[in-house]
Structure 1
Amino acid sequence: MINPEKRKKQLAAFDQLLTIMDELREKCPWDKKQTIESLRHLTIEETFELSDAIMDNDLDEISKELGDILLHIVFYARIGDEKNAFDIAKVIEQLNNKLIRRHPHIYGDTAVDNEEEVKQNWEKIKLKEKGNTSVLGGVPKSLPALIKAMRIQEKARGVGFDWEEKHQVWEKVEEELAEFRENFDASGELPVNKEEATKEFGDLMFSLINYSRFIGVNPEEALEKTNRKFIYRFQYLENEAKSSGKTLSEMSLEEMDAYWEAAKSKE
């Protein structure tokens, strides 16, 4: 249910943002100088800052970072308006129209029974809209490899190309792991063919990412949590070593492991 007063306040806040953007673009030396190209790397940085806030579950920081990203959207739209290419109204109208088209179960007569059917419809409609000759044509080339693997698998599933059962996916993981271990046994003394090892390790990672999808685990989020856990433990180790008057290079592996275990117990 829409709250009229709340909506009025939201629209007023957005109107003020557009006014501020106009004033900054006309009067501020830095803002006047910016281009779509110069803002690109800043937008990427802001997106990662939002990601950090989400991982920290810091709702106040999430709100602030969303504001920064909204500023960038308004900034791009203002520059687009100056080029007579698009303005913020066109950006929003295009988004509105797309959302309506891709939700025919809400704005049309399509019937769906579950979330999976919604996603399948979305991918099919998207494929028609973009005129791609491949379902995978919409996956950005510059996505980080782990996230790209996730999106490739999701899009393939959207048109029915996927494993049927979870155990089949795990069997594939075991197959890839056994193959990798057989060809690149760490105890062997023969030199490793790095090109072949890279290829096989990629297959193993792809199958693990696929399995994570089947059990509802986001592999990017899982790996980032492990990164943060390692950083915490390692920095604890560094601090404890410093407190004892030692550097890590002066400590035995056994000594470091004792601090590592202590860090684990404090998590």
Structure 2
Amino acid sequence: MENLEHDMVVESSSNDKIDCNKNSYTFEEFMDIIRVLRSEQGCPWDREQTHESLRDCMLEESYEAVDAINKNDVENLKEELGDVLLQVALHSVIAEETKEFTIDQVTTDISKKMIHRHPHVFLDANVENSREVLKNWEAIKQEEKKEETISDGMLRVAQALPALIRATKIQKKAAKVGVEAANIQVVIDLLKSSIEEMEKQVERNNNYHMEEELGRILFLITDLSRKLGINAENSLTNATDKFINRFIGVERLAEGEGKHLKDMSIDEQTALWGRVI
């Protein structure tokens, strides 16, 4: 829509006109834009989308928003939050069309939830600090979800979460009733034992047990990070970034010698790797 010589307007399904050259738009105007995109006069791609087809988009946009936060990139965060909001709007308009729910019901439900889970703000409950706030929040949430056991809470943890985050949440719930390793050394010993078992399964070429043991190792590593007070997800992200940076350095050294990594021996690659800090 660049280089337009005159103002453009689009008729929405509610017969309201959408000014395509405004400097700012309200939330309701934004929702109308999404409704137009989903209409017969709208975009073929947008009309084809469903809750299911948009799942990956929701995850990707959320991660990109988190990436902007990690990089302290406020301008990009503003853009990425808009992309997250777009996903919320698309799902809500799709639901409006199928009469599942409306965007007003979405905002109403979250508003009621915030009021209910903040009795120290909207009612007469008293709290001393944020620790008590979180304790009350969890208790209220358990009441809302009708969780009677720790198992109920575990089953409610979303399976779509990144595996390390989900494992940590499950371990924290188990720890609330004392179901956890006694100390850090116990976790380390269990980890050593699992690695030894993995070596045996590798020798036997037993794929099923290798996968099972690898899962146990990852679960124990997550538990170790929890006990150490280290975020496992962040640790893996940092390690991956470090690997990328070192790989870039190694590749540049190879190119400086007129070589390609794929043509070099393991010993030659290792020698280059040792030269990169």
Q: Does 1:49 align with 2:67?
A: no
RMSD: 3.0
Deviation digits for residues 36-89 of structure 1, max 9, x if unmatched? 233223222322333443444433222211111101111211222222322111
1:242 partnered with 2:255: yes
Q: In structure 2, what is the equivalent of residue 6 of structure 1?
A: none
Write 1 or 2 for the structure with the bigger share of helix. 1
Amino acid in structure 1 at the alignment position of 2:164: L
Unaligned runs of 5+ in 1: 1-10
Q: How big is the shift at 1:99?
A: 1.4
DSSP-derived class of the 2:33 partner:
helix
C-alpha distance in structure 2 between counterparts of 1:182 and 1:171, whole Å: 17
For the residues of structure 2 that align with 1:256 and 1:230, how far apart are their CA atoms? Answer: 14
Change (3 A) 1:168 1:112: farther
TM-score calculated relative to the size of structure 2: 0.75
Q: Does 1:218 align with 2:231?
A: yes
Mark the runs of 5 or more structure 2 residues left unpaired by the alignment: 1-23
- SS at the partner of 2:53? helix
Question: Is the alpha carbon distance of 1:156 and 1:104 closer, same or farther for their aligned partners in structure 2, counting shifts above 3 Å?
Answer: farther
| Residue matched to 1:108 | 123
Identical aligned residues as a percent: 35
Displacement of 1:203 = 3.5
Distance 1:38 1:198 in 2: 30
SS in 2 for 1:36: coil
Shift of 1:24: 2.2
2:204 to 191, 195, 204: 191
SS of alignment partner, residue 229 of structure 2: coil
Q: Aligned partner of 1:148: which letter?
A: R
Q: In structure 2, the residue corresponding to 1:208 is in which secondary structure?
A: helix
Evaluate the alpha carbon distance shift between residue 169 and residue 63 of structure 1 in structure 2; reply closer, same or farther with a 3 A threshold: farther
**In the alignment, structure 1 residue 180 sits paired with structure 2 residue 194:** yes
Q: Which has the higher contact order (CA 8 A, sep 6+)?
A: 1
CA deviation map 1:130-163 (0-9, x unaligned): 2345121211123332121022123345xx3247
Match of 2:28 among 12, 15, 30: 15
Give the Cα separation in 2 of the matches to 1:189 and 1:17.
56
Query: How many Å separate the matches in 2 of 1:37 and 1:192?
Result: 38
Aligned to 2:159: 141
Aligned ranges for residues 115-126 of structure 1 at < 5 Å? 115-126=130-141
Q: CA deviation at 1:213?
A: 2.6
How much has 1:226 moved relative to structure 2?
0.8
- Cα distance, 1:20–1:171 mapped onto 2, change above 3 Å: same
Tell me, in whole angstroms, the C-alpha distance in 1 between the residues paired with 2:34 and 2:196.
60
Q: SS state of the match for residue 217, structure 1? A: coil
Change (3 A) 1:109 1:154: farther
Please tell me the residue identity of whatever aligns with 1:227.
T
In 2, the alpha carbon distance for the partners of 1:32 and 1:154 equals 42
| 1:98 corresponds to | 113
CA distance in 1, matches of 2:213, 2:48: 48
Question: What letter corresponds to residue 177 of structure 2 in structure 1?
Answer: F
User: Structure 1 stretches (4+) deviating beyond 6 angstroms?
Assistant: none
1:231 aligns with 2:247: no
